[in-house]
Amino acid sequence: MADIQVTINGAVHGLPEGSRVQAAFQAAKVPAKGPQKPLAARFDGELVDLSFSLTKGGELAPVDQSDPAALDILRHSVAHIMAEAVKEIFPEVKVTIGPAIENGFYYDFDKAEPFTPDDLGRIEERMREIVKVAQPFQRQELTALQAVEFFKDRGEDYKVELIEDLVRDQGVRRVSLYRIGDFVDLCRGPHLPDTSWGGSFKLLSVAGAYWRGDEHRPMLQRIYGTAFFNRKDLDEHLHLLEEAKRRDHRRLGRELDLFSVSDEVGGGLIIWHPKGALLRVTLEEFERQEHLRRGYDIVMGPQILRTELWKRSGHWDNYRDNMYFTEIDGQGYGIKPMNCLAHMFIYRSQLRSFRDLPLRFFELGTVQRHEKSGVLHGLTRVRQFTQDDAHLFCTPETLDGEIKGILDFVTDLMGAFGFEFEIELSTRPAKSIGSDEAWNLATTALETALKDKGVPYEINAGDGAFYGPKIDVKLKDALGRRWQCSTIQCDFTLPERFDLTYIDNDGQKKRPVMLHRTIFGSLERFIGILTEHFAGAFPTWLSPEQARVLTVTSRADETAREARARLRKAGLRAEADLRNEKLGYKIREAQMQKVPFMLVLGDKEVENGTVAVRRRGGEDLGVMTLDDFTSLAEAEARPPRWD
RNA sequence: GCCCACAUAGCUCAGCAGGUAGAGCACAUCCUUGGUAAGGAUGAGGUCAUCGGUUCAAGUCCGAUUGUGGGCUCCA
């Protein structure tokens, strides 16, 4: 057999044609033990199995645990192991697909009876046995026709459909199958060398999921799980899940007495309690001031607008199912799901000159959207919410600068909370209005601004709003979870539909461009995210209660009342705990309520005119006068500013 | 909207071979005046989500409705 030249780690090795990757690695003395032990390989950049036979020369690189692709290979392989276990225990089940996902994997099964928690335990047990005996992943290639026959014989209709689609949509002629034990699955691979690698896994939950994500197709049973290369990483991940549960804003919202929802009031409708409302208005006031500073005007529109307007804007055709409608004196009205219409009417209330532009209208606009019942979730998915919404009207010449200004605004505000973010550019969806030309202009404008700013972004094809493309900002919270908040949408269409114009310097009537944008997105959602991000320990400037005076005995009551009054006069949100309880009890409670500062007042302090200051978390700041405390607390008790 | 699970005191939960409810925390009263994460005693508090069915008898079994949770689809 002819030799082929394979380059491994920079060194060229001559190998017989048809050699397996594994043998090549042996020849190149790639470690076969320890963390550098390869589990797969890259051949000229393509991921392949260790059992792959090399039929031509090329560049071969080992893929070990540290490789970015390694975890996906592991998880996908564990999904196969799970499917094998499921098929053994429930032979009547039909298998579908089982990919690796961000934090683990899932596999969808067609099974008449749903899996019970007991079933999960049995499956997990069987998986551990499979892992123990180190079944090899064996790859086999068949023609598409052979594969269809193979799966038809086994009654695996979903696999048959997948192959038929591959043939039809991608012209695929040959497909690969992977076998472990008696379980054979259609799969591109690559996979682990054998099942012994998959030891650190855990099955997490069962859920319904539509076949191919289509709500008109059958509902399948999905099992979620996760897997890591070692026990430690798995435990860390499970701990993170626990931590997320501990930080759940619905739980903290109740414990900190921020808000509630009531089934008597209705799903997805938030009731703000005093502390939550205080937090919210603090956030709102911060934003109002920051908008005024950046040249925005504050405006307010009505809650309902005539149905004709929603028809003209395109909402009736594109968004009607999500809207509430009502009738007054025989006249139809739509409750606003967005704030843009009234802002356009403010624009239209005068003849505008190019000198007036840009106009930036800002509204904390409360909108109603009829969300499907199954999607409601705490503060993050509700039916009535308030957007920090603005519409900017500008000339095509100044559009670029306005988009960049918004990007800076987003960066500042997200930075104020310690959020990092990622950006997506969403392009024209199937259901949309406006000309191709307008869409291209708008998309290019957003893209150019991102490029000029040097901001990395990804394209999210077909996910734009119906009236224009958008930049979506996904912020990352303290646990690394991503949330959609800010959005910047570029719109050439609504100005057209509502005949917005300005007189340009050549005396001609021209069409302004409209930017829709939010920064926090929805106050409700943002507060939910903040709550989880800070685990309820909000920065001092946002904390509903910033300082609490704690008395040691009732002899300090009078002084404590005076102290509270002085703190409030100094602009701090202060309370006093005068209850007949021990200091330890009061500390514990203030700590659980995440009050940033605790001021202890006992006989000594009363006598010396001081307080003993303790920070949330336990740090002892020592004994000081009230004035010293207020000047110490002042900086962090004020909202951030960029001057 | 769809799949599954769940719904008992303000909160977290127990109760189940169907025989008319229990704990801890919180709350109230009293005692305790105690220095940095829970002092003690006593007490009050529930038409067991709603409606209907089976049964001599239903928190417990069955059905429907509403709501919640985990997902799917959708989305700020």
Nucleotide nearest to A262 (CA to C1'): B67
Concerning whether A370 is annotated as a catalytic residue, the answer is no
Q: How many whole angstroms separate alpha carbon A283 and alpha carbon A188?
A: 50
User: CA geometry: angle at A49 spanning A44 and A55, to 5°?
Assistant: 55
Nucleotide nearest to A380 (CA to C1'): B76
How many Å is the maximal CA-CA distance in chain A?
Answer: 98
- Residues A579/A549, Cβ–Cβ less than 8 Å: no
Q: Is the pLDDT of residue A298 over 60?
A: yes
Question: What ipTM does this complex have?
Answer: 0.91
Residue A258 banded pLDDT, cuts 50, 70, 90: very high
pLDDT in tens, A340-399: 999 999 999 999 999 999 999 999 999 999 988 888 888 998 999 999 999 999 999 899
Share of chain A above pLDDT 90, in %: 60
Share of chain A above pLDDT 70, in %: 100
The three-class DSSP label of residue A536 is coil
Q: Please, how many CA atoms are within 13 Å of residue A79, restricted to the half-sphere of its CB? A: 30
Q: Is the pLDDT of residue A5 over 90?
A: no
Q: Is the pLDDT of residue A312 over 90?
A: yes
Concerning whether A387 is annotated as a catalytic residue, the answer is yes
Q: How many whole angstroms separate alpha carbon A2 and alpha carbon A57?
A: 11
Residue A529 banded pLDDT, cuts 50, 70, 90: very high
CA of A529 to C1' of B14 (A): 34
Concerning whether A470 is annotated as a catalytic residue, the answer is yes
Which residues touch A157 (CB under 8 Å, ≥6 apart)?
A94, A151
CA of A581 to C1' of B42 (A): 18
The residues pairing with A136 across neighbouring beta strands, listed in sequence order, are A194
Q: Which nucleotides of B are covered by protein (CB under 7 A)?
A: 1-5, 11-12, 31-39, 66-76
Query: Of A64, A185, A388, A389, which one is the catalytic site residue?
Result: A389
Query: Of A191, A291, A340, A594, which one is the catalytic site residue?
Result: A340
DSSP A642: -
Centre a 10 Å sphere on the Cβ of residue A140 and count the other Cβ atoms it contains: 13
Query: Of A275, A470, A517, A525, which one is the catalytic site residue?
Result: A470
Closest to A610 (Cα-Cα) out of A599, A597, A596, A618: A599
Concerning whether A179 is annotated as a catalytic residue, the answer is no
Query: Of A202, A247, A383, A391, which one is the catalytic site residue?
Result: A391
Residue A206 banded pLDDT, cuts 50, 70, 90: confident
Nucleotide nearest to A590 (CA to C1'): B37
- Residues A402/A390, Cβ–Cβ less than 8 Å: no
Nucleotide nearest to A221 (CA to C1'): B3
pLDDT in tens, A142-163: 999 999 999 999 889 999 999 9
pLDDT in tens, A428-474: 988 888 888 888 888 999 999 999 999 899 998 888 888 889 999 99
Nucleotide nearest to A602 (CA to C1'): B35
CA of A75 to C1' of B71 (A): 19
The three-class DSSP label of residue A23 is helix
- Mean pLDDT for A194-221 is 86
Concerning whether A391 is annotated as a catalytic residue, the answer is yes
Q: Is the pLDDT of residue A333 over 80?
A: yes
Q: A217-254 burial, b if ≥16 CB within 10 A, otherwise e?
A: eeebbbbbbbbbbeeeebeebeeeeeeeeebebbebbe
Q: How many whole angstroms separate alpha carbon A79 and alpha carbon A63?
A: 20
CA of A119 to C1' of B56 (A): 40
Residue A2 banded pLDDT, cuts 50, 70, 90: low
Residue A407 banded pLDDT, cuts 50, 70, 90: very high
Q: Is the pLDDT of residue A552 over 80?
A: yes
pLDDT in tens, A7-32: 888 888 888 888 888 888 888 888 88
The three-class DSSP label of residue A531 is helix
Which of the residue ranges A68-72, A557-561, A580-584, A603-607 would you say has the lowest mean pLDDT?
A68-72
The whole-number pLDDT of residue A598 equals: 97
Identity of the amino acid at A61: A
Q: Is the pLDDT of residue A253 over 80?
A: yes
CA of A80 to C1' of B63 (A): 40
Kindly report whether the peptide bond that precedes residue A358 is cis, defined as omega within 30 degrees of 0.
yes
The three-class DSSP label of residue A65 is coil
Which residues touch A538 (CB under 8 Å, ≥6 apart)?
A279, A530, A531, A544, A594
Concerning whether A187 is annotated as a catalytic residue, the answer is no
- CA distances (Å), A90 to each of A11, A86, A153, in order? 49, 6, 18
Mean confidence (pLDDT) of chain A: 91
Concerning whether A291 is annotated as a catalytic residue, the answer is no
Q: Which residue lies nearest B69, CA-to-C1' measured?
A: A377
Query: Of A65, A387, A489, A593, which one is the catalytic site residue?
Result: A387
Q: How many whole angstroms separate alpha carbon A599 and alpha carbon A613?
A: 5
Strands (E), A382-500: 384-394, 420-426, 458-460, 470-476, 482-491
- Residues A640/A417, Cβ–Cβ less than 8 Å: no
CA of A114 to C1' of B4 (A): 7
The whole-number pLDDT of residue A263 equals: 77
Residue A1 banded pLDDT, cuts 50, 70, 90: low
Residue A205 banded pLDDT, cuts 50, 70, 90: confident
3-state helix, strand, coil in chain A (%, to 5): 40, 30, 35
